[in-house]
Amino acid sequence: MQEAIAFYQQTVLSANAEVENGLVTYLRAQRRAKLLDDGATAAKTAVLTMQKQLQVGVIDFNQYAVIHQNLIQQQDLWAQARGEIALGLIQAYRALGGGWEIRLPEAPDYEESALPEDVPPPAAEQP
């Protein structure tokens, strides 16, 4: 009996840790995505500024290419952070038991004749 209790407690603690890890991943990724979005916005502004300078000949193409590459990296990191947000939610959802419906067999069809006599009909059918 003590062994079963200890196993149960360990299972609950492990499930709790999985939920916490999922929530931490979700929250950190949200914060990271916000910062990376701000960085990508600033990088886009820099690219537009550098593009105008390139057109008038103030800078050369290499400087523009470096700034544009920075924008692409910021956008890529932002997309990765958005993916981590989804993964954190999925991790927490699964740890809380989400998705178990898929493993169950099909629910039996609802049959009114299967109801006991003292069960009233559904509310939609009552006068």
Question: What pLDDT, in 10s, does the model give residues 37-89?
Answer: 999 999 999 999 999 999 998 888 999 999 999 999 999 999 999 999 999 99
Structural domain tally of the chain?
A: 1
Domain that holds residue 50: 14-96
The pTM assigned to this predicted structure is 0.64
Question: In this structure, are residues 88 and 29 in contact, taking their beta carbons and an 8 Å threshold?
Answer: yes
Supply the angle between the helices 61-95 and 2-56 in degrees, to the nearest 10: 160
94-100 long-range contacts, CB within 8 A, separation 24+: 94/18, 94/22, 95/15, 95/18, 95/19, 95/21, 95/22, 96/19
Residue 126 has pLDDT above 50, yes or no: no
Q: Is residue 21 in a domain?
A: yes
Q: Is residue 101 in a domain?
A: no
Q: Is residue 119 in a domain?
A: no
